[in-house]
A and B are shown apart, each in its own frame.
Chain A
Amino acid sequence: DTEVTQTPKHLVMGMTNKKSLKCEQHMGHRAMYWYKQKAKKPPELMFVYSYEKLSINESVPSRFSPECPNSSLLNLHLHALQPEDSALYLCASSQVLLTSGSSYEQYFGPGTRLTVT
């Protein structure tokens, strides 16, 4: 099973709302990622979790708050977003690198289409 699931599929929220995006994988991967993708652009890395610990934060505004409650789940908590935050939010997972001479592919979920009004 190489599936990464994301909920909800679509989300519309106002600038004062608080919402959460969820991501789940059952491939035994210990690295999980959040990406933001604007229309006609490549995905932009936001956060990386390795063994449930935040290892990379690409200078993302604090209105985005990630959480990795266990090895299968990844959440992205949203608060006080701006209209420019409207985008497709993608979750991905991969094995964790154990040696410097390897690299693993990432498996992506279908994404959550977020619209901030």
Chain B
Amino acid sequence: AQSVTQLGSHVSVSEGALVLLRCNYSSSVPPYLFWYVQYPNQGLQLLLKYTSAATLVKGINGFEAEFKKSETSFHLTKPSAHMRDAAEYFCAVSDPGYSTLTFGKGTMLLVSP
């Protein structure tokens, strides 16, 4: 069964600093990978998705993620953090041919002035 591991339940950065949120997957087949963001008291919003078309995926709000098969990773990055980026971020995986998602435990991004 597929799974994802998000390293670090909390990540703190200063405004303007690089954001790096880590996600490693475990899947017996090439997976489909997603990053979602959840702001307080809201639903989940899709940031970006990997579907094997390109290893570097650009998403909304300046975020991007790189699929590295050799490292089984799909880390999320943003060059310069904004205060509005403070939220919970979930990595999720779906095996090809399945519509269900398996979520990581989430990483809370804290941004300080």
Binding site for B on A (CB under 8 A): 4, 6, 31, 40-43, 45, 48, 50, 56, 90, 92, 94, 96-97, 99-111, 113
Tally of B interface residues using CB under 8 Å: 24
Binding site for A on B (CB under 8 A): 32, 34, 36, 41-46, 49, 51, 90, 94-101, 103-106
Cβ contacts under 8 Å, B100 to chain A: 45, 48, 56
Instruction: Name which residue of chain B comes closest to A100, CB basis.
Output: B97
B99–A94 touching, CB < 8 Å: yes
B106–A42 touching, CB < 8 Å: yes
B96–A100 touching, CB < 8 Å: yes
7 more A-B residue pairs beyond the given contacts A42-B105, A97-B97, A100-B96, with a C-beta to C-beta distance below 8 A: A45-B100, A100-B97, A103-B95, A105-B34, A107-B46, A108-B44, A113-B41
